[in-house]
Amino acid sequence: MKFSSRAERIEPFYVMEVAKAAQALGREVAGTDHPMIFLNIGEPDFTAPPLVQEAADRAVRSGITQYTNALGLEALREKISQWYLDRFGVNVAPNRIVVTAGASAALQLACLALIEHGDEILMPDPSYPCNRHFVSAAEGTAVLIPTTAEERYQLSADKVEAAWGAKTRGVLLASPSNPTGTSIAPDELRKIHKVVKQRGGITIIDEIYLGLSYDETFGQSALAIDDDIISINSFSKYFNMTGWRLGWMVVPEAMVPVVERLAQNLFICASTISQHAALACFEEDSIAEYERRRAQFKARRDYFIPALDALGLSVPVMPDGAFYAWADCTQAAQKLGVSGSWDFAFELMKRAHLAITPGRDFGTADTGRFVRFSTANSMTQLQESIRRLQQLIG
């Protein structure tokens, strides 16, 4: 069978090999006193709070399960708009909000709406692997620009300016980032957007982890900068609803009808049940629960990152959001008699029963030295992980 070159261009997820091996070994050691601890999972260990579960149940039982408008339920778009005002002090009109099947669908819609064959999109290295694949699926080319710890692993205005070429169409950023949990300083973002706008380009920013921000300096939405910025978001992370497949994006008004046309044809609408459930995310009790959980994520970060550092698994920049630790494993790998993050991850899995993610999928610059730990796990499990690391490399 012959497959399209578009499909062939999509690289495999190497981390899945590690995840599969960890699951297989995890089954073997499940009943022992040394079960596998999974620190490779990029999703919250919480599920949706009670009011959200009840709202989903009500939607199913009362049969309100028909398609919605392609742009999403009006009431949900209004709630999201109010959330921007309450949480970030930004006015975002509901008619600029498009509800989608997760941030993934939002990213696909944005790329299909804006990218022509051959267009180049600048993004940081390391970054979330799917982002470059969304670009290539739209027949564009992702141009990865190596970043440094001093730049918080984000693009700078200078680098964007230097990399801009005849085919460049814009930038795709994520703040806070996966895998580093670090954000772009608001002033730098303003400068980047200025460079992009002066060249007639587009700024797309993935703010899926913005709700899980722990630092006021960085916890601001890019939407405060300019109505031209396209912001991607989701119910997956802060709202703990990964499998409900619900997200949204905020687009300039002129882009709404284009995205609506694409969404109608490609998806019809996001899950109706999830949309009705998500209305309850914004109830006072739900927000209070989400904020308690955000405090837990922060407490885990505050415990885990210094503990990794003390073991020589240095995390060059303290994450200001999300639930990841991007750690240099050079020294630790040497202690285990291996080199590189790929072998280190396998060694850790076999000898300490700790599943983590090697840097390889997130880019090519320096990623062979780094591993990603996810702290979306209970404090007890995180403490046990550090104990095992101490035994092995301490």
Query: In the complex, what is the shortest distance from the CB of residue 2 to ligand PLP, in angstroms, rounded to a whole number?
Result: 29
Q: Residue 282 to residues 31, 42, 83, 276, 304: CA-CA distances in angstroms?
A: 40, 23, 8, 12, 30
Per rule CB under 6 A, is residue 128 in the interface with ligand PLP?
Answer: yes
Whether residue 176 is preceded by a cis peptide bond, meaning omega within 30 degrees of 0, is: yes
Cβ burial of 336 (10 Å; 0-12, 13-18, 19+) is middle
Query: Please, which of residues 207-266 interact with ligand PLP by CB under 6 A?
Result: 208, 234, 236, 242, 247
* Nearest CB to ligand PLP, comparing residues 51 and 232: 232
Stretch that binds ligand PLP, among 58-66, 101-109, 312-320, 342-350 (CB under 6 A): 101-109
Query: Please, which of residues 334-373 interact with ligand PLP by CB under 6 A?
Result: none
The count of chain residues that interact with ligand PLP, using the rule CB under 6 A, is 13
Whether residue 129 is preceded by a cis peptide bond, meaning omega within 30 degrees of 0, is: no
Contact code string over 148-187 relative to ligand PLP, x by CB under 6 A: --------------------------x---x---------
Kindly report the three-state secondary structure assignment for every residue of 263-289: HHHHCCCCCHHHHHHHHHHHCHHHHHH
* Nearest CB to ligand PLP, comparing residues 242 and 357: 242
Cβ burial of 363 (10 Å; 0-12, 13-18, 19+) is buried
Query: In the complex, what is the shortest distance from the CB of residue 208 to ligand PLP, in angstroms, rounded to a whole number?
Result: 5
Per rule CB under 6 A, is residue 72 in the interface with ligand PLP?
Answer: no
| Among the listed residues 135, 172, 178, the one whose alpha carbon sits nearest the alpha carbon of residue 153 | 178
Q: How far apart are the first and last CA of the chain?
A: 52
* Nearest CB to ligand PLP, comparing residues 196 and 241: 241
DSSP structure string for 114-168: HPPTT-EEEEEES--HHHHHHHHHTT-EEEEEE--GGGTTS--HHHHHHH--TTE
Per rule CB under 6 A, is residue 104 in the interface with ligand PLP?
Answer: yes
Per rule CB under 6 A, is residue 326 in the interface with ligand PLP?
Answer: no
* Nearest CB to ligand PLP, comparing residues 87 and 194: 87
Of 44, 49, 102, 124, which one interacts with ligand PLP (CB under 6 A)? 102
Binding interface with ligand PLP (CB under 6 A): 42, 102-104, 128, 174, 178, 206, 208, 234, 236, 242, 247
